[in-house]
Amino acid sequence: MPNIGPVELIIILVIALLILGPGKLPDVGAALGKSIREFRKAATDVQEATKLDASPAPRPNTLADQPVPNQSASVPTDAASGAPQ
């Protein structure tokens, strides 16, 4: 895509002034600016919507997701000797 420099922009504005006239040029400029703002807003909304769709949905907690506590068979022991009672 070619870059538009200041000289090219002045040429485009002079041609627009000749075609549209000085009375209609501000109205066309305002309409063009409004259209560009609406287009940018729509593009931003689409980007935000795709970001929200791309993020994974949180999973509900289930019992299968919970860690199982260590349950070993315990035998009561004598506290002094450590031997089973």
Number of domains present in the structure of the chain: 1
pLDDT at 73 over 90: no
Considering only residues 81 and 49, tell me which one the structure prediction assigns the higher pLDDT: 49
Model pLDDT for residues 23-43, shown as the tens digit of each residue: 998 899 899 999 999 999 999
Please report, as a single letter, which amino acid is at residue 61.
Answer: N
Residue whose entry in the numeric block shows the structure tokens 């022991």: 77
Is position 47 within any domain?
Answer: yes
Taking the C-alpha atoms of residue 83 and residue 40, their distance in angstroms, rounded to an integer, is: 78
Most distant CA atoms of the chain, gap in Å: 108
Residue 35 resides in a domain: yes
Band (pLDDT 50/70/90 cuts) for residue 10 is: very high
Residue-range definition of the domain harbouring residue 42: 24-55
> Is position 77 within any domain?
no
Give the pLDDT mean for 78-85: 59
Specify if 37 maps to a domain: yes
pLDDT at position 65:
64
pTM above 0.75, yes or no: no
